[in-house]
Structure 1
Amino acid sequence: MQSSTLALPLSEPTAANSAVSQRLPSPLLLKQQMPLSTALAAQVERHRKAVRAILNGEDSRLLLIVGPCSLHDPRSAREYAQRLARLGAEVSDQMLLVMRAYVEKPRTTVGWKGLAYDPHLDGSDDMHAGIALSRGLMLSMLECGLPVATELLQPMAAGYFDDLLSWAAIGARTTESQIHREMVSGLGLPAGFKNGTDGGVGIACDAIRSAAHGHRHFGMDAQGFPAIIETLGNPDTHLVLRGGNQGPNYDRQSIALARQGLAKSGVSPRVMVDCSHANSGKDPMRQPQVFNEVLEQRLQGDTSLIGMMLESHLFDGCQALGNAPLKYGVSITDGCLGWDGTEALLRQGAAALRDIAQEKSAAIR
């Protein structure tokens, strides 16, 4: 879809504020122009139910959120999705693989904010094209048969993609935000709250409790108008450990402390570990080490560990956005583990889980 089909007239700047605004299509309009088919809608609902079953202990599989740190190139994103879909089918007895389709990126100061903001990678911030391209990419991933996940950073952008998602993340910088907690309370899909940047889980525990309750809050309706939003609460949330300023928090002691913190808050002890960020020391090649240590805890019976996240792309590492030409299949944000390493890691993990399952089955017989 061309961005011109979505563009609306510029508003006139005022004397008090020289900023120029440009209207975007409402979420409803974009969804009508790029609809989710009945068949794919049913698929999304099946995937959401599968994620919920894992969270509730009704499905013993491991939940894996896998994919690029951020999407920036549609061609490499589609190739990655096709590979992940094939692998997902092979390991589906032990793992539920969910495509990481992040189109927004949080920034401490400034920088590229993601495909939804700057799809041309040139600072033009063509958000008309960005939201359409992002939705189109997610739809193509659904057509591969994959569940789709993203981080919901800007609440106003969530309505453009929420019908496509089977899982969502709330980042370390926004877990404390009341606005994001209210937003999650109205989502019809599971969501993970990351621990704060200090590494503590108290903020995430508060967020989980808040999101489980209904709220009335300011928001935007599907037509794009300001509205009073009333939510019922979201019971399908959990903690994501991503490390903090003091270092990683995926070791046995940290997991035990996290479980205690959740229990003290009256929150179900279900934990996902982000193998990247502070848990890997921001070294993408250390993600397998984190993955294997967490997997070992799971194999030894820690069922509170319901899943993991991996930042993975077609090739190892990352590259600066200013480089020309950009290397195909290499992240332009955080460094990623390449496909070969990712595939081997997940195959080995599935085999280990399969062995344990067979041992348990033999013991019962």
Structure 2
Amino acid sequence: MSNNEVHNINVDSQVVLVTPEELWATLPMSDAVQQTVADSRQVIWDILDRKDHRMFVVVGPCSIHDTAAAMDYARRLKALADELSDTLYIVMRVYFEKPRTTVGWKGLVNDPYLDDSFKIEEGLHIGRKLLLDILEMGLPTATEALDPISPQYLQDLISWSAIGARTTESQTHREMASGLSSAVGFKNGTDGGLTVATNALNSVSRPHRFLGINRKGQVAVFTTSGNAYGHIVLRGGSSGPNYDSVHIRLCEEALEKAKLAKNIMVDCSHANSNKQPDLQPLVVENVGNQVVEGNQSIVGLMIESNIHGGNQSIPEDLSQLKYGVSVTDGCIGWDETEACLRALRDKVKDALKAR
């Protein structure tokens, strides 16, 4: 490096990616997939607008690392979604990007082979193909919008999006979410406070201008009209869980004070289950009881679920990975998922119709 070089001094390399347009052409959306995405977004909007009495449930693995296991899970979930569709609108959690507190596996798009090879372009292909396959079954999909570039590659296939607790305060993510085509759930801050999320909801509903890439991969200035379907996701925090009736009431008051719609989604994982995945069904049961007792604001739930419960570390020998077990946060297994959602449906069926 010459003495006067001042740019990119910490960059070791750059690799030009396929453009979103090229990826879409390689893995196009069929008419059936397009209809599933459009219909599922409309259902979620209708639930948030109180035009559909049902509750939507985002359920699935903490993160996707094995597409074969993900399709196995999706087939099971589609059958359950059809069975419970009179009361619950089920959306599969298909998370490809994971925020890390320090370091660790960042998700299928970033490192699809779990070996620090960071084949991001292959990750984008694998992720898009999986979304298409799930949607072809008629099962809608949800993900976390973490990287500000990847939505141009994948968001056309997403029915519901989350902004995580670490990024709810980020201006970049608020701007990005203002332009997303799906409803967006903003999680409360990691401390459990609501102010960051209510500020985000006010921000995301308004127009923004920001830098991004367009379908051709060109840097562009985006102007958005604002996203009218932002809502809060309660996930607990360092102060403890926040899904009980007292915290729900406090959240309603905070939303009312901020002149926001009283739409609340409860994340049954994270601090709301004290990071013990097996406690998630108890959170679901509590939320169901609140609905039966007359709650009007809870419109959705999120559950971390996989084929088998618990989680595992990524081994050096990837052949030792256990099938259907999370490599990030722990999940409940499939049997518990079925039992939990069937019980919720039976409990809230009449109460939701009476709202």
Taking structure 1 as the reference length, the TM-score comes to 0.93
Q: Residues 15, 264 of structure 1: CA spacing in aligned structure 2 closer, same or farther, 3 A cutoff?
A: closer
Name the SS of the counterpart of 2:233 in structure 1: strand
Q: Secondary structure at the match of 2:17?
A: coil
1:220-299 map, 5 Å? 220-299=213-292
The residue type paired with residue 18 of structure 2 is P
- Equivalent residue runs for 1:1-365 within 5 Å: 16-322=9-315, 324=317, 325-356=320-351
Pair 1:91–1:323, CA change in 2 (3 A): farther
Displacement of 1:222 in angstroms is 1.2
Note the C-alpha offset of 1:27. Answer: 1.2
Question: How large is the RMSD of aligned CA atoms in angstroms?
Answer: 1.4
- Once the two structures are TM-superposed, the CA of residue 323 in structure 1 deviates from its matched residue by 6.0
Equivalent AA in structure 2 for residue 35 of structure 1: P
SS at match of 1:346: helix
Give the drift of 1:303.
1.7
Assess if the C-alpha contact under 8 Å between 2:291 and 2:351 holds in 1. Answer: no
Q: CA deviation at 1:221?
A: 1.2
Q: How big is the shift at 1:16? A: 3.5
Cα 1:183/1:15, change in 2 over 3 Å: closer
Q: What letter matches 1:329 in structure 2?
A: G
Residue by residue, what CA displacement relative to the aligned partner does 1:51-93 show, whole Å, maximum 9, x if unpaired? Answer: 0011111111111000000000011000000000000000000
Aligned residues of 2:177 and 2:204 also touching (Cα < 8 A): yes
Query: Letter of the aligned partner of 2:323 in structure 1?
Result: Y
Letter in 1 for 2:321: L
Which ranges in structure 1 are unaligned for 5 or more consecutive residues? 1-13
CA shift for structure 1 position 38: 1.9
Q: How many residues align?
A: 347
Which residue identity is paired with 2:334? W
Q: Which runs of no fewer than 5 residues in structure 2 stay unpaired?
A: 1-6
Secondary structure of 2:310's aligned partner? coil
One-letter amino acid matched to 1:139: L
Going from structure 1 to structure 2, the CA distance change for 1:15 and 1:270 (only over 3 Å counts) comes to: closer
Aligned AA (2:341): L
Aligned amino acid, residue 282 of structure 1: K
198 and 18 in structure 1: CA distance in 2 versus 1, 3 angstrom threshold: closer
Counterpart AA for 1:345: C
Shift of residue 356, structure 1, vs aligned partner: 4.0
Task: State which drifts further: 314-323 or 273-282.
Answer: 314-323
TM-score, normalised relative to structure 2:
0.95
SS of residue matched to 1:335: coil
Conservation of the 8 A alpha-carbon contact between 2:54 and 2:352: no
Of 322-331 and 78-87, deviating more is: 322-331
Cα distance between partner residues in 2 of 1:357 and 1:143: 29
Distance 2:328 2:149 in 1: 23
Percent of pairs with identical residues: 47
Deviations 1:152-204 (CA, angstroms, capped at 9, x unpaired): 10010111111101100000000001111111111111010000001011111
| CA shift in 2, pair 1:353/1:16, >3 Å | closer
Do the aligned residues in 1 keep the contact of 2:174 with 2:203 (CA within 8 Å)? yes
Change beyond 3 A, Cα 1:323–1:353: farther
How far off its partner does 1:113 sit?
0.2
